[in-house]
Amino acid sequence: MRIEPIQKTDTTVFGAIVTGVDLNHLSDEEWEVIEAAWYEHAVLVFTGQHIEEAAHVALGERIGELEQLVADRKSVPISNRKVDGSAVDAESDHFKILKGNEGWHTDSTYMPLSARASILAAQVVPEEGGQTEWADMRAAYDALDNPTREQIAALAAYHSLFYSQSKVGHNPAKGASYGLNDQDVPLRPLVKLHPVTQRPALFIGRHAYGIPGLSESESEALLERLMVFACQPPRVFGHTWTPGDVVMWDNRCVLHRARPYNYDKPRIMRHVRVAGDPRTEAGIRV
């Protein structure tokens, strides 16, 4: 197995391309190597895998219990096509959430448990656009000046999909799907200590808003400033998908976003999401 860093500078070791391994037939010994590399690089890219659904699910289950995003399924399509192959309606909640995910975010931060990991497998991709980008929130935290670190040390933000979607002009009705239910909005510290590596990381993204103790505009300005600062080189890289590629990333220390593309073209990904640990991804009880 070969692990080639993607972004390696004096301040950042972020993302790696892993070759010489078949994810459809992964041994425990190979997983140990992958897991160690994952904690170091936070995002691992495997090209040409064409991973089967069962192997994809099993890979997620090596990390932890999966999020049940759809009843009776351990994987879900992230797709702009319906089951019958027709395009998703541009006025639907589904379409608008796909568009919303072109903003930097961490999966499931608006849910009671934010996600531990996400694993995406490309099946059908447009010829242009539709890349995914990741940003290293460990390196972003490390690069903050001391006054900012002190300012945010004790701060937390609420995370809501209603908030983030309203920012892109989408005001969905409350319902049971996509996390759009009436549950309490979780409050999460702006600095997250990674439960395994103990490295601090900025924990922000498009769902974050309403920092207690700040006015609405102060909160918005601070979160925007942190996001702009965090999501820039050398802390960012993108992947242009080819069918068969698999990427697994650590939601506890990485932001990601989809890049725009022509929605007339199909883009179909299979997604497995690993649930957060209630001890470390449950947010603050108030």
Residue 281 engages Fe ion in binding (rule: CB under 5 A):
no
Of the candidate spans 64-72, 103-111, 242-250, 262-270, the one that interacts with Fe ion by CB under 5 A turns out to be 103-111
107 versus 245: smaller Cβ distance to Fe ion: 107
Report in angstroms how near the CB of residue 80 gets to Fe ion at its nearest.
14
Report in angstroms how near the CB of residue 218 gets to Fe ion at its nearest.
27
38 versus 249: smaller Cβ distance to Fe ion: 249
The single residue among 107, 245, 250, 281 that binds Fe ion, judged by CB under 5 A, is: 107
93 versus 107: smaller Cβ distance to Fe ion: 107
Report in angstroms how near the CB of residue 258 gets to Fe ion at its nearest.
7
The answer to whether 223 and 188 are in contact (CB under 8 A) is: no
Of the candidate spans 101-109, 129-137, 155-163, 241-249, the one that interacts with Fe ion by CB under 5 A turns out to be 101-109
3 versus 270: smaller Cβ distance to Fe ion: 270
Of the candidate spans 40-48, 85-93, 104-112, 178-186, the one that interacts with Fe ion by CB under 5 A turns out to be 104-112
* Near Fe ion in 145-174, by CB under 5 A: none
78 versus 211: smaller Cβ distance to Fe ion: 78
Tell which residue, 239, 233, 274, has the closest CA to residue 35: 274
* Near Fe ion in 11-50, by CB under 5 A: none
Report in angstroms how near the CB of residue 26 gets to Fe ion at its nearest.
24
The answer to whether 34 and 19 are in contact (CB under 8 A) is: no
Of the candidate spans 15-23, 87-95, 102-110, 152-160, the one that interacts with Fe ion by CB under 5 A turns out to be 102-110
Report in angstroms how near the CB of residue 132 gets to Fe ion at its nearest.
8
Handedness of CA 189, 195, 198, 203 (dihedral sign): negative
Q: SS3 string of the chain?
A: CEEEEEEECCCCEEEEEEECCCHHHCCHHHHHHHHHHHHHHCEEEECCCCCCHHHHHHHHHHHCCECCCECCECCEEEECECCCCCECCCCCHHHHHHHHCCCCECCCCCCCCCCCEEEEEEEECCCCCCCEEEEEHHHHHHHCCHHHHHHHCCCEEEECHHHHHHHCCCCCCCCCHHHCCCCCCCEEECEEECCCCCCEEECCCCCEECCCCCCHHHHHHHHHHHHHHHCCCCCEEEECCCCCCEEEEECCCEEEEECCCCCCCCCEEEEEEECCCCCCCCCECC
Position with the least CB separation from Fe ion: 107
152 versus 239: smaller Cβ distance to Fe ion: 239
Report in angstroms how near the CB of residue 146 gets to Fe ion at its nearest.
32
Of the candidate spans 32-40, 107-115, 164-172, 267-275, the one that interacts with Fe ion by CB under 5 A turns out to be 107-115
β-pairing, 200-202 vs 191-193, is antiparallel
- Please count the residues of this chain forming the interface with Fe ion, following the rule CB under 5 A: 1
Q: Where on the chain is the footprint of Fe ion (CB under 5 A)?
A: 107
